Structure 1
């Protein structure tokens, strides 16, 4: 039975891996990440192929703890011009390895074997429209006795069509992690309206699976993809996924159905298959339990960090790695802090640190549930 307080959804890239690595060990103990495997983009002699490099980074960041393992979509062939033939070959190998794991032959046998090869891997079932292949995959993964993860994604119609292939397929006492992933929440979306639609999808998803003991998790992201239109130099943004979570957690139909929702999110990343843009004016983000603040300064990251440090929202009791990096930058110690990617890592580290401590705690919201 999972006792985690917080369920961040990650795709293993350099920023996510380091943000997870830099969390304190007790914080890591209180979260359960669900990571999407993809090909690691940077080759290193003697360190294995693109998929092995990716899993090695998970192990280095999270240790021997069990971790949810999902699979990123395969990338199409690229017309990118690589500096060397070795890098071009590496990229092609990565696409090939990911595509191989997506092969549905024999009930996704390649995926099932990949999961079976490491006992720490808790599998996310890969959806398919072929009911026989889906059932074969689920049976193979369930036989590992590690539990199963079903991820229902809003952009895929909550996968209700595919899940219908499991009708009358009884999972006995297998522990099931049911993830309801709304993905991206727009800054103008009406939370009550999308909450009602999401509530209906959760109830339908839950009914599609037979048997099993269950942990239910709602996941979404409202982190924006651009900032110029929000605030040229400063903004304070509500973490809308937490607001929506709190509305859903107390919704009478879910409570009546015995669905006790846990909290997860996309770890302060725009929820999409692509990397979020971080170009232009230097920006330093500071996550709090219910808000993100940011300061953008043309003068550079040091000036932005100084303004974050002086902001009324700053918590001087937060001593996590990311907060310490902001303190260092504000004091003029900028070694290793001049690249935008490092500030993505810092934001994610602070966000996961804060959310892991709050877990399922209720934060105030100005948008009441209306059903």
Structure 2
């Protein structure tokens, strides 16, 4: 029996082992954590020397609940610490990704991802990981979409037509043009379901903006594409995005971002950005007040992220005072909203106590 039924999964956010994403996950209501089925990109924890620190941080944030797991992008795990060597070993295709399989066998709450960078001994890898009885996820980046047909056939042959298997199609960094991927995505999904009729499919991307100059709002294009495809595939399709995080890590060169408060809605993000960063406390407080005064603000939505914005507006200097904390608040709200998308009554049921 699989660790969790994919028929009950409504949202598979892709999250990295980075401080803002882990704090956002940690601060979710326990009820949300019980329903969420994230795909965690395992990588080095900030400053840690050993991979065990990464696993400990994930457990601290999400407990021992079922999670899909894959490895982070290669460039995120390059270095000379022990953790980098450990991840390199997990990525090795030797003996049908033997090190990866051994690692997963020792982590009972991890739902395995099949690694497809090398398809040598693919059948053996599928058989070994599926035999754990937890289910599987098969991640495809755009560059590997050409292999979907042959790999989905191989997976189907060993998993009863894809039972408890999710095929995950990742469009990576995206913008409004993601909508034009509908035909490509539709053809890929149809092919997968023809080969593996008992499986489910998730389409993912990250359309969160790279720049905010003169930008006050943006449509969540991942949700828009999902709704277009859902008309054809119904419950066979599971929604995914990157939890409003970016697909690629930002590197230096741009300085500290201007103070900004982001507010996640069901189908768009609202941005409240200050051009004055001389007093960051005042700037964040001003933008938090603007968010709360906006007609889209929902005073009845009581999660950690909204409380952080409210505290910031009141001048609390332990609330949002940095880009990291602002990002964590946005991701926290976004995860909660997307988990309960289309179910307004569930949106307001949290198990945490809040103070006005």
Structure 1 residue 184, shift from structure 2 partner: 2.5
CA distance 1:288–1:181, change in 2 (3 Å): same
Aligned 8 A contact 1:6 1:360 in 2 = no
Structure 1 residue 27, shift from structure 2 partner: 1.1
Corresponding position of 1:102: 91
Structure 1 residue 223, shift from structure 2 partner: 0.8
CA distance 1:138–1:261, change in 2 (3 Å): same
Q: How far apart, CA to CA, are the structure 2 residues paired with 1:279 and 1:309? A: 24
**Partner of residue 107 from structure 2, selected from 114, 118, 132:** 118
CA distance 1:249–1:77, change in 2 (3 Å): closer
Residue 217 of structure 1 aligns to a residue in which SS?
strand
Structure 1 residue 65, shift from structure 2 partner: 1.1
1:36 aligns with 2:41: yes
1:204 aligns with 2:197: no
What TM-score, normalized by structure 2, do the two folds share?
0.85
Q: How far apart, CA to CA, are the structure 2 residues paired with 1:30 and 1:325? A: 23
Q: How far apart, CA to CA, are the structure 2 residues paired with 1:275 and 1:19? A: 21
Corresponding position of 2:221: 240
Corresponding position of 2:181: 194
Corresponding position of 2:231: 250
* Total equivalences in the alignment: 331
Aligned 8 A contact 1:112 1:140 in 2 = yes
Aligned 8 A contact 1:285 1:347 in 2 = yes
Corresponding position of 1:261: 237
1:316 aligns with 2:299: yes
Corresponding position of 1:325: 308
Q: How far apart, CA to CA, are the structure 1 residues paired with 2:200 and 2:343? A: 13
Corresponding position of 2:348: none
1:352 aligns with 2:335: yes
Q: How far apart, CA to CA, are the structure 1 residues paired with 2:255 and 2:227? A: 30
Corresponding position of 2:267: 290
Q: CA RMSD in A?
A: 2.6
Q: How far apart, CA to CA, are the structure 2 residues paired with 1:356 and 1:69? A: 19
Structure 1 residue 316, shift from structure 2 partner: 0.4
CA distance 1:274–1:295, change in 2 (3 Å): closer
What TM-score, normalized by structure 1, do the two folds share?
0.82
Corresponding position of 2:23: 18
1:171 aligns with 2:159: yes
Structure 1 residue 341, shift from structure 2 partner: 0.8
CA distance 1:321–1:31, change in 2 (3 Å): same
Corresponding position of 1:154: 142
Residue 318 of structure 2 aligns to a residue in which SS?
coil
Structure 1 residue 224, shift from structure 2 partner: 1.1
User: More helix per residue: 1 or 2?
Assistant: 2
Residue 336 of structure 2 aligns to a residue in which SS?
helix
Q: How far apart, CA to CA, are the structure 1 residues paired with 2:83 and 2:156? A: 38
Aligned 8 A contact 2:69 2:112 in 1 = yes
Aligned 8 A contact 2:170 2:205 in 1 = yes
Q: How far apart, CA to CA, are the structure 1 residues paired with 2:150 and 2:250? A: 25
Structure 1 residue 330, shift from structure 2 partner: 0.3
Corresponding position of 2:72: 72
Structure 1 residue 171, shift from structure 2 partner: 1.8
Residue 75 of structure 1 aligns to a residue in which SS?
helix
**Partner of residue 224 from structure 1, selected from 209, 213, 232:** 209
Residue 325 of structure 1 aligns to a residue in which SS?
helix
CA distance 1:77–1:178, change in 2 (3 Å): closer
Unaligned runs of 5+ in 1: 44-48, 79-87, 362-371
